[in-house]
Amino acid sequence: MDYQSLLVSYEDGIATVTINREKALNALNKTVFAELRHFFSVEGPARKDLIGVVITGAGSKAFAAGADIKEFMGLDGEKAMALSQNGHEVFFIIEQFPKPVIAAVNGFSLGGGCELAMACHMRIAGAKARFGQPEVNLGLTPGYAGSQRLIQLIGKGKALELLLTADMIGAEEAHRLGLANHVVEQGEEVAKAKEILKKIGTKAPLAIAKTIECVNAYFDKNANGFQTEVKAFGFLAETEDFREGSNAFIEKRKAEFKGK
Ligand code: DAK
């Protein structure tokens, strides 16, 4: 696919997906959503050697300053629900991606931008990152699951404070609350994300995928996370990588995982 609003590059098995709408502070329009959907459901899964994905924003000012407010003009109830549903689907695809996805938050991460970062498995904040859910300023609630994932990450009281006041918080506060995994110098976000992905790349890929599935199951009201873990454990016990991992431990050598 020729992307219009994403830049996709690969290095050492890691994909970097950059939202490339710098003039609009990387606001998430329909094209960005369609292209993210394509990357995470078609291109990414086809790359068998993929270790993980970094998502970031073009330029030094924004990760993504929200849903594209210009696309809200003429929205009625039915169209708004369809828009919201589409965003939910795309962010679920990212959350359920079987390889780790890390948001490298290089600036404003507001509204839909913060929701995208929260759908990723981890968040690295640059020193100038600003997080917030300012939807109530527009007369809206979050539309892409911010009211759910913010609670999962920082708890109900703080989530309600951010959602109801529309306050923006900086990188250090986001780190203190558990919204950001690490704070790094501005411009070092992608490098830190890649460092983490490289470490994960030395582990057994099927175990990584099953671990993501088990953690997601905790938050899925239709799943039983405990049973998901039991089944994952049984599945992994039959893999070549499990035999290789345990043999390597006994033989005091580094495991060579094949993802089988
Ligand atoms: N959408 C479209 N364009 C945006 C944008 C956005 N979210 N944010 C910034 N831009 C554009 C600006 O219009 C401006 O474009 P030009 O005027 O140059 O053409 C350019 O980016 C630079 O922005 P500023 O000139 O405003 O830059 P500043 O440094 O002065 O200010 C700022 C930076 C981030 C504080 C400011 O741009 C700002 O407040 N931006 C809006 C932040 C925001 O409110 N974002 C939306 C959050 S709400 C739903 C679906 C989705 C959602 C809700 C419901 N349903 C289906 C029901 C999600 C909602 C949100 O994401």
Is 78 part of the annotated catalytic residue set?
no
Is residue 242 within 8 A of residue 204, CB to CB? The reply is yes
Task: Give residue 140's Cα distance to chain centre.
Answer: 23
Low-confidence ranges of the chain (pLDDT < 50): none
Fill in the amino acid letter for 69. Answer: I
Is residue 42 within 8 A of residue 5, CB to CB? The reply is no
Q: 6-200 belongs to which CATH class? A: alpha beta
Q: Output the six-digit token pair for 228.
A: 């998901």
Q: Where are the domains of the chain?
A: 6-200, 205-251
CA–CA separation, 242 vs 260, rounded Å? 9
Distance 27 CA to ligand 1 centre (A): 7
Is 185 part of the annotated catalytic residue set?
no
The predicted-structure confidence for 74-111, as pLDDT tens digits, reads as follows: 899 999 999 999 999 999 999 999 999 999 999 999 99
pTM above threshold 0.95:
yes
Which residues have CB under 6 Å of ligand 1? Answer: 24-25, 27, 65-70, 80, 83-84, 87, 108, 110-112, 134-135, 137-138, 140, 142-144
Q: What is the pLDDT of residue 1?
A: 86
Catalytic option among 71, 89, 95, 135: 135
Task: Give residue 93's Cα distance to chain centre.
Answer: 10
